[in-house]
């Protein structure tokens, strides 16, 4: 099997490329800047340099490809204009090239949440609609927080607990979510080409625990070996103010923090498990995914591909 992985320099895409290579797939990575992807080339991956916002630069990326993984987003990317429109334009360009070049199927990772109140979550769903409408058959995975050492959501939780003796408690801390470990997400993505029943449908995935954000902060404190932080209720703290507050005490990019925080008022849990039941994957509990992420953080490791 030949796979095309977009977003291969990201924390999900890099792990997926390595996992596909280990199972014997031939992996081509679409990267915006070859210089930033030298580690992928050193690991034996074929690189195609191109930008999903520039359709002409994508030409040739899909030649001979059986399945393409679309794992890019424009949130926090900078530049002029609205990231939502950049998301739509990118999805249109990629879908058109995928169709022209005969890619067999697409796999996309978006977000959970019914009737989301944030541009970020709505945009992720609109991207799936564009890919499904204009590209090859699509398997559309939907997940809430993906827990891994390099995920912005995980980093936000960790830095809030580590840096604050007490914290403000806006109303969104009571919102339920269903986090899932990055290794489990990669396993779903990796197996998609071998589950033909998943093609052309939505697959909602999540870990076994449904938790509020406040509960996740407490679990993070436990994992770090410290006491849960006292919280000062501030029910009328807006998402904008929350993102500014998070930006002051964590290294999370402001362009990422605000849309992430705006999405925290939406309940992000699995409402239809039928798609996930097609896969032989048993996601780990939140406590174990935190343990693994913290261990990887401390080791400073990155996935090894062994592509050659």
CA dist 220 and 160 (Å) reads 10
What does the pLDDT look like over 145-175, one tens digit per residue?
999 988 888 888 898 899 888 888 888 889 9
Give the per-residue pLDDT at 121: 83
- Placement of tokens 């580690």 in the chain: 39
Give the per-residue pLDDT at 307: 44
Torsion angle of the four alpha carbons 270, 275, 279, 281, in this order, in degrees rounded to the nearest 10: 0
**DSSP characters over 3-67:** EEEETTTSHHHHHHHHHHHHTT-EEEEEES-GGGGHHHHHTT-EEEE--TT-GGGGTTTTTT-SE
Give the per-residue pLDDT at 79: 42
Q: What is the mean pLDDT of residues 128-141?
A: 97
Element (H, E) at 139: strand 138-143
Percent of the residues in the chain that have a pLDDT greater than 90, as a whole number: 63
CA dist 283 and 281 (Å) reads 6
CA dist 88 and 80 (Å) reads 15
Q: What is the mean pLDDT of residues 207-235?
A: 93
Q: Is residue 172 part of a domain?
A: no
Q: State the CATH number of the domain containing residue 6.
A: 3.40.50.720
How many domains does one find in the chain?
1
Q: What is the mean pLDDT of residues 213-218?
A: 94
Q: Are 207 and 184 in contact (CB under 8 A)?
A: yes
Q: Is residue 189 part of a domain?
A: yes
Give the per-residue pLDDT at 301: 55
Give the per-residue pLDDT at 212: 94
What does the pLDDT look like over 77-99, one tens digit per residue?
444 347 788 899 999 999 999 99
Q: Is residue 54 part of a domain?
A: yes
Q: Which residue has the higher pLDDT, 28 or 157?
A: 28
Q: Which residue has the higher pLDDT, 33 or 138?
A: 138
Which range marks the domain in which residue 134 is found? Answer: 2-146+179-206+268-283
- Angle of CA points 207, 300, 142, to nearest 5°: 25
Q: Is residue 186 part of a domain?
A: yes
If pLDDT is split at 50, 70 and 90, which confidence band does 219 have? very high
Q: Is residue 22 part of a domain?
A: yes
Q: Are 175 and 266 in contact (CB under 8 A)?
A: yes
Q: Is residue 80 part of a domain?
A: yes
Q: What is the mean pLDDT of residues 53-63?
A: 95
Give the per-residue pLDDT at 101: 96
If pLDDT is split at 50, 70 and 90, which confidence band does 117 have? low
What does the pLDDT look like over 253-276, one tens digit per residue?
766 777 677 777 889 999 999 999
If pLDDT is split at 50, 70 and 90, which confidence band does 137 have? very high
Q: Which residue has the higher pLDDT, 93 or 243?
A: 93
Q: Which residue has the higher pLDDT, 299 or 15?
A: 15
Q: Which residue has the higher pLDDT, 277 or 248?
A: 277
The residues that bridge with 180 in the sheet, in sequence order, are 146
Q: How many CB atoms lie within 10 A of CB 114?
A: 11
CA dist 270 and 282 (Å) reads 15
Give the per-residue pLDDT at 47: 96
Range of 31-45, 253-267, 288-302 with top mean pLDDT: 31-45
CA dist 124 and 142 (Å) reads 9
Ramachandran class of 266: left when φ > 0, alpha when ψ lies in -120 to 50, beta otherwise: beta
Residue 177 confidence (pLDDT) above 80:
yes
Three-class secondary structure of residue 2 per DSSP? strand
Q: What is the mean pLDDT of residues 3-29?
A: 95
Q: Is residue 161 part of a domain?
A: no
């Amino acid at each position: 099997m030949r796979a095309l992985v977009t977003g291969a320099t990201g924390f999900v895409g890099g792990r997926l490329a390595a996992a596909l290579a280990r199972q014997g797939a031939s992996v081509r990575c679409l990267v915006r800047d070859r210089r930033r992807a030298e580690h992928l080339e050193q690991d034996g991956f074929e690189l195609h340099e191109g930008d999903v916002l520039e359709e002409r630069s994508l030409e040739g990326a899909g030649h001979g490809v059986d399945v393409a993984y679309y794992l890019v987003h424009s949130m926090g990317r900078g530049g002029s204009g609205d990231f939502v429109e950049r998301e739509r334009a990118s999805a249109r360009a990629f879908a058109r090239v995928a169709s022209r070049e005969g890619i067999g199927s697409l796999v996309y990772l978006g977000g959970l949440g019914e009737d989301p109140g944030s541009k970020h979550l709505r945009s992720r769903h609109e991207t799936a609609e564009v890919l499904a409408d204009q590209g090859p058959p699509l398997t559309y995975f939907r997940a809430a927080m993906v827990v891994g050492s390099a995920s912005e959501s995980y980093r936000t939780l960790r830095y809030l607990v580590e840096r604050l003796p007490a914290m403000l408690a806006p109303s969104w801390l009571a919102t339920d979510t269903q986090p899932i470990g990055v290794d489990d997400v990669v396993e779903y993505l990796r197996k998609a080409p071998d589950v033909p029943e998943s093609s052309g449908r939505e697959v909602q995935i999540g870990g076994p625990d449904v938790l509020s954000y406040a509960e996740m902060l407490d679990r993070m404190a436990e994992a770090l070996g410290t006491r849960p932080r006292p919280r000062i209720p501030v029910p009328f703290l807006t998402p904008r103010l929350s993102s500014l507050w998070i930006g002051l005490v964590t290294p999370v990019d402001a362009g990422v923090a605000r849309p992430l925080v705006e999405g925290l008022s939406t309940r992000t849990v699995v409402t239809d498990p039928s798609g996930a039941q097609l896969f032989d994957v048993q996601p780990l509990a939140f406590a174990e995914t935190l343990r693994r992420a913290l261990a990887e953080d401390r080791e400073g490791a990155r996935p090894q591909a062994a592509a050659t």
